[in-house]
Amino acid sequence: MLVPKSKGKNERNMKKNVILLGLMIVSTIVFSQGKVDPAERSARQSDRMKKELSLDDVQTKAIAAINEEYTVKRAEIFRDSKLSQEAKREKLGALHKERQSAIEKVLTPEQTQKMADLRKQRMERHASRKHVRHEDRATRMQKDLSLTDDQTAKIKAIDKQFGEKFRTLRSDSTLAKEDFRNKAHELRKEHRKETKSVLTQEQYEKWQEKKRKKKM
């Protein structure tokens, strides 16, 4: 028996609204149990997504609820002093995937593609800014650590080399997020090791001290 197009469309819309309502109810329960107020952070995320993806009112409310839920969960992971840094990275990575999956259930295929395109553009802008910072980094290190011209040239070469490696890594769309994080972590360790090899012991200790002060 043929189903009228209007009836089929209404049934799909009703099913979509039921899914969105379920997501909102679940996230509201989790939010009410949390001790962290995620309103400001999640509101910024939701407002940006509403503008960028042209969300309707139902989608906006569902996305806001999802963002609130996962902001609470994210804060709980950061506060858990029993977790190592590696364990926190793993949990945050899994949480990110979970959040993305929940969001994609709310979006249309066109909105999901637009979100992916916008994310790629932001990553490219970030990579471009990071390249400029690498240039500034060598200059700052020359000033802060009294590097010779030869040392400064070597630092610039190292930064350029690893900048290219990071760009290659980011462009590899076949990598899972966890594999990407692990490879990026290893690249950063290798980058620090190469930088250390250029410095004297006194310069290296001064460099480490400056890095510690920045984190305070």
For residue 106, the model assigns a pLDDT of 93
For residues 104-115, average pLDDT: 92
Q: How many angstroms separate the CA atoms of 140 and 199, rounded?
A: 14
pTM passes above 0.75: no
- Is the confidence at residue 136, as pLDDT, over 50? yes
Give residue limits of the domains in the chain: 8-107, 113-215
Please give the helix or strand (H or E) that residue 151 lies within, else none. helix 149-170
For residues 126-139, average pLDDT: 64
**Average pLDDT over all residues of the chain:** 79
- Is the confidence at residue 105, as pLDDT, over 80? yes
For residue 29, the model assigns a pLDDT of 41
For residues 95-116, average pLDDT: 91
- Is the confidence at residue 21, as pLDDT, over 70? no
In the chain, what percentage of residues exceed pLDDT 70? 76
For residues 161-175, average pLDDT: 81
For residues 15-21, average pLDDT: 51
- Is the confidence at residue 23, as pLDDT, over 60? no
Which is nearest to 153 in space by CA: 95, 210, 86, 198? Answer: 198
For residue 11, the model assigns a pLDDT of 54
Which is nearest to 197 in space by CA: 151, 162, 161? Answer: 151
For residue 35, the model assigns a pLDDT of 42
Q: How many angstroms separate the CA atoms of 96 and 117, rounded?
A: 17
Instruction: Identify the band that residue 155 occupies on the pLDDT scale cut at 50, 70 and 90.
Output: very high
Window from 62-71, 106-115, 119-128 with minimum mean pLDDT: 119-128
Report phi then psi at 4, rounded to 5: -55, 140
- Per residue in 59-101, pLDDT (tens digit) is 999 998 998 888 888 888 888 888 887 888 888 889 989 999 9
